[in-house]
A and B are shown apart, each in its own frame.
Chain A
Amino acid sequence: MSASVADRRNAIAAKRGNSLRNQRLWALWGSYIALGIFVVMFLVPPFYTLMTSLKSSAEISAQVGSPWLVRHPTLENFWYLITYPNFQRYYLNSVIVTILTVSVSMVISVLAAFSLSRMGFWGSQTLSTSVFLTYLVPPSLLFIPLFQIIGQLGLINNFWCLVILYPTLAVPFCTWIMIGYFSSIPKELDEAALIDGAGYLQMLWKIFIPVAMPGIIAATIFAFTVSWGAFLYPLAYLYTSNQMVLTVGIISDLIRGDVFQWGKIMAACLLASLPPIVIYAFLMDYYVAGLTAGATKG
């Protein structure tokens, strides 16, 4: 009797074990297939961009065979852009605008997030929510009223207007990320610092910023992405080559009428993608940690 019960238990356990193994196997296959599709979808455009950028204009216009392959690889498109003064100007403008935007945005966001999450003043909760709500307003709705403001400031067709405009896009989200990160830091840490003799600014500088560095890096990457990749505002506010940034400079300079210089456009896109790729590659670990911080008790 007892033996048959034991046999039945073993059989149930074995069946359950097999079923769990099968489920895990199916889940793995499903994950690989989904990830495979995802990787193909995201890597095909950059691959096509790279292939096209290595072709001469003659090869592009007289396309023979597969467009995915390069018959006579050349760096002439890259060389042209690197030595082209306008492209150098766009690049420099983008770098200046981005460095200033990221700096301004991070200073404002860190200070705002620290005060909203830690100083607990009257209305801080409502303000925190409002900060995030402003992020939900689409930039495409704002650019007309902002055009008026920028016009009154006399900054139309001046890339410095972007240094004022981009933080309005970056600050709300960066502040929101930082509020989440600062809130995940135990309250006892500020209390210990207060008792140790720190003021609020010392507490921020010596304790919060070092501890919240992953969150700060995540917010920095976001501000960088907003600034480096923005298209609508520079398109609306800048119209001469010496003021343009990369995103609008490439299309306004390399598309002339109905002539698309595909090789140069693709090379320009690759060159413009370099800084984000380098920054993401170096900071990815921090970025992921920043986005997931505070999600669990840890």
Chain B
Amino acid sequence: MAEVSVRKVVKEYEGGVQAVKGIDLDIADHEFVVLVGPSGCGKSTTLRMIAGLEEITSGEIWIGGDVVNDVPPRDRDIAMVFQNYALYPHMSVFDNMAFGLKLRKFPKDEIKRRVDDAARILDIVPLLDRKPRALSGGQRQRVAMGRAIVRNPKVFLFDEPLSNLDAKLRVQMRTEIKKVHQAIPTTTVYVTHDQIEAMTLADRVVVMNGGVIEQVGTPQQLYHNPATRFVAGFIGSPAMNFLPCRVQDGANGGLAVRITDSIIVPIPPARADRYGAYKGKEMVLGIRPEHLFEHHDQGKPGWTRVDLPVDVVEPMGMETMVHFFVDGSPVCARIDPATHAAPGEMLPLTADLNQMHLMLPDTGRVV
């Protein structure tokens, strides 16, 4: 078990393309950190640099208090689980899991004990004699995790391990991974492009974009206090709604946000101080679909009514997504499935402006 530090790490490929642009990240012992971001954001490159599978152009990587820049992967005491499992096809499940221990010349009974223990944790004891081709996707992924666990390494690295599984199995395996981390709390770095996976698994989430870290925080911090428009849009499903707006004077000496000539909503007094400096400026209003709901009379402070024309209704069983257009910008609301919303009709909504975010249009920074 160990802490991992990434200090001003740059990865530049031939031709001058920078995949990672000088990131800093400290991961505590036992922590489960998820790197999340869209394709090409540098998350997998970062993980591979920690693993030693990619050379770093500049900066330092520390594992367990030692700089490991020039240490080969086998001497970093890490274990990695790959997206496509990377099981050795000619070996049985037992041999796959034991391979690393055999190379390190562990005694036979110790190898057997460790493999059996890991197999019990992962519930793959009956599969130990099978070859990988005789396993389902979920079982293969368990074996890949078992191969990592038996080594009892300082750090677990997961590179999009659930991406090849179908949706149902992915949810199941997500829980398995969480259980394994609770049982064996090894420092873990996990890469995914799926923000739900990131939110459900992580102690802390690192959101990356364009080779830089946009924000590091707990899932709740990222959801409630995104630092940038990118994070606000990336975390949460469906994504946050963004509407161009202007901050102006409102009723009773307060502030208001003008979205269109007919849609002007008051800013809750608690936020007036924060947004006062932006009066008269063009901004972007961000509000999540779950903070727009069907209007009813029992209001709360910060709630305001907005009537919008329905464009599309998507019933999903436990909730219904209703889509609108406001001055050309798409808006989605997460509504009670009992709604009578119909395309073309006006739907009275309540916007919970206590949950609103204002962003600078040029930098995307949340103010």
By a beta-carbon cutoff of 8 Å, the part of chain A in contact with chain B is: 186, 188-189, 191-199, 202, 206-207, 210-211, 213
Contacts and interface: CB of A to CB of B under 8 A. Distances in A.
Interface in B18-76: 51-53, 72-74
A202 B105 CA distance: 13
B328 interface: no
Given A196-B74, A197-B103, A191 B80 contact: yes
Interface in B59-113: 72-74, 78-80, 82-84, 86-90, 99-100, 103-104
B103 A194 contact: no
Contacts of A197: 74, 100, 103-104
Interface in B175-209: none
Nearest to B90: A210
A210 B99 CA distance: 14
Interface residues of B, number: 23
B103 A188 contact: no
A198 B86 contact: no
Interface of B: 51-53, 72-74, 78-80, 82-84, 86-90, 99-100, 103-104, 147, 151
A197 B71 CA distance: 12
B103 A186 contact: no
A213 B84 CA distance: 21
A192 B103 CA distance: 13
A224 B140 CA distance: 38
A196 B99 contact: yes
Given A196-B74, A196-B100, A191 B89 contact: no
Contact of A195 (B80, B83, B89, B90): B80
Contacts of A195: 51-53, 73-74, 78-80, 100
Contacts of A207: 88
B86 A192 contact: yes
A194 B90 contact: no
A125 to B, nearest CB: 13
Nearest to A185: B89
Contacts, number: 57
Contacts of B147: 192, 196
Contacts of B99: 193, 196, 206
Nearest to A187: B86
B82 A192 contact: yes
Contacts of B83: 188
A123 to B, nearest CB: 14
8 contacts: A186-B86, A191-B51, A192-B87, A194-B52, A194-B73, A195-B78, A198-B74, A198-B103
B357 to A, nearest CB: 40
Contact of A188 (B73, B78, B86): B86
Q: Chain A CB within 10 Å — which of B82, B86, B103 has the most?
A: B86
A195 B84 CA distance: 16
Contacts of A186: 84, 86
Contacts of A196: 74, 99-100, 103, 147, 151
Question: Which 6 A-B pairs rank lowest in CB-CB distance, beginning with the nearest?
Answer: A196-B100, A188-B86, A192-B86, A197-B74, A197-B103, A210-B90
B4 to A, nearest CB: 15
Contacts of B52: 194-195
B191 to A, nearest CB: 14
Contacts of B80: 191-192, 195
A179 B72 CA distance: 25
Contacts of A206: 99
A191 B74 contact: no
A170 B52 CA distance: 37
B88 A211 contact: yes
Nearest to A202: B103
B356 to A, nearest CB: 44
Nearest to B99: A196
B74 A211 contact: no
B90 A211 contact: yes
Contacts of A198: 74, 103
Given A195-B51, A195-B80, A189 B86 contact: yes
Contact of B72 (A189, A192, A194, A202): A194
B51 to A, nearest CB: 6
A198 B84 CA distance: 20
Contacts of B73: 191, 194-195
A78 B80 CA distance: 63
Nearest to A186: B84
Given A189-B88, A192-B80, 19 more contacts: A188-B82, A191-B51, A191-B73, A191-B80, A192-B87, A192-B147, A193-B88, A193-B99, A194-B53, A195-B52, A195-B73, A195-B78, A195-B80, A196-B147, A196-B151, A198-B74, A207-B88, A211-B88, A211-B90
Nearest to A209: B90
Contacts of A191: 51, 53, 73, 80, 82, 86
Contacts of B82: 188, 191-192
Contacts of A188: 82-84, 86
A272 to B, nearest CB: 35
Contacts of A213: 90
A228 to B, nearest CB: 29
A188 B89 CA distance: 12
Nearest to A189: B86
Contacts of A199: 74
B121 to A, nearest CB: 19
Contacts of B51: 191, 195
B39 to A, nearest CB: 18
B89 A211 contact: yes
Contacts of A194: 52-53, 72-74
B164 to A, nearest CB: 12
Contacts of A202: 103
Q: Chain A CB within 10 Å — which of B72, B78, B88 has the most?
A: B88
Q: Chain B CB within 10 Å — which of A196, A197, A198 has the most?
A: A196
A296 B52 CA distance: 31
